[in-house]
Amino acid sequence: MKADSLQTCIDKFKSRDAVIGIVGLGYVGLPLMLRYNAIGFCVLGIDIDTSKVEKLNAGRSYIEHIASEHVAKARDSGFEATTDFRRAAECDALILCVPTPLNKYREPDMSFVINTTDAIKPYLRAGQVVSLESTTYPGTTEEELLPRVQESGLTVGRDIFLVYSPEREDPGNPNFETRTIPKVIGGHTPACLQVGIALYEQAIDQVVPVSSTKAAELTKLLENIHRAVNIGLVNEMKIVADRMGIDIFEVVDAAATKPFGFTAYYPGPGLGGHCIPIDPFYLTWKAREYGLHTRFIELSGEINKAMPEYVVGKLMDGLNENGRALKGSRVLVLGIAYKKNVDDMRESPSVEIMELLEAKGALVAYSDPHVPVFPKMREHHFELSSEALTAENLASFDAVVLATDHDRFDYQLIQSSARLVVDSRGKYRTPAANVIKA
């Protein structure tokens, strides 16, 4: 593609005449679709999940914090979803928003990225930009996408453009939206970066260009490793404080009054979500290729991974104090989403707590106003529905474990009705006979 053709491609985004293709319509892809649709772009959504596609084409959302009325409005103004990857040829931009989980060996599972790239590969053409948003290890764009994109004879940086721009969604956070979260972009070539900027600056208030796709990939990992390490630190501090009879939440609150040099992180029952429990392992895996052992990162991962067992241990101690064994006890887990006020259950430590309890012979139930029925998950299987939080029902359980602190829970009712409360979120600051901090 010549320089004038490059400018034509850029102008197409600036004039908003381009067709935007979003591949993967989950917690990242769906908000991005809504944003591009809202500013006048023609948007095509592509997903392998037939049920998702059918719901979106009917104007219905399947994510709690995204209202169906927004999806219906997008559908009425031209958005369409499909499972037909051949339609990738219609798109001027293809933005890949697919999962990057870990396999059973805690190594990166790149199958979703690779399979998606292979699925669109036959339909790539000159004048398109391909952007990967999935969190991954440095080098993925160059090692996995670049050769596949160029297989048909297209030259990246001249005929077709390749960028990496990591997602920064925070589901359920009312203080930020897709438009207001700055967007990091790295291009394979300077021309790729120019096109990537033209693509994203229409939809995002601030675009942050970096020198390469590798730099952009490592930026995303640093953001999430920063959080994972600091959460690991405060989780370890929680254990130390507990042995010393000190309330770690009081300590963090007090430390947070320092106006410089300290950022407050709070302990919990473990890490959840699509990023923080997973992303550090992407870097540790890739670092081995360079003969490096990321001990600091791996240690924080071990600490965070051990938190569900710590919570279960505290529950067992509390039951023992009441003359009961965990085996045969009825235990209610409060909140199974990975964080409060959302329905997102990816990598939720609550589910791991449920599995540990079940393995030890407890009779497990849950209550979560955002998850009325336990969903089908790749690795976890419970045939359960959310329990009603009434005084009578709470009193029928031997213990309740507060795993996710949703605002919709009636905490006063829980404390006054439950025989034993194991609080992993610091909701109960005043000491009480039936509350154990975990």
| Residue from 115, 94, 114 nearest 46 by CA | 94
CA of 96: how far to CAs of 16, 153, 282, in Å? Answer: 20, 21, 18
* Catalytic residue check, 97: no
Which listed residue (9, 91, 97, 275) is catalytic?
Answer: 275
Which residues, in sequence order, are bridge partners of residue 330? 363
Strands in 80-82's sheet, in edge-to-edge order, are 80-82, 42-46, 19-23, 93-96, 129-132, 161-164, 183-187, 207-210
- Amino acid letter, residue 155: T
* Alpha carbons 378 and 126: distance in angstroms, whole number: 37
For residues 26 and 134, the answer to whether their CB atoms sit within 8 Å is no
* Alpha carbons 350 and 355: distance in angstroms, whole number: 9
Q: Give 385's DSSP letter.
A: B
Q: Give 171's DSSP letter.
A: T
* Alpha carbons 182 and 164: distance in angstroms, whole number: 14
* Enzyme catalytic residues: 275
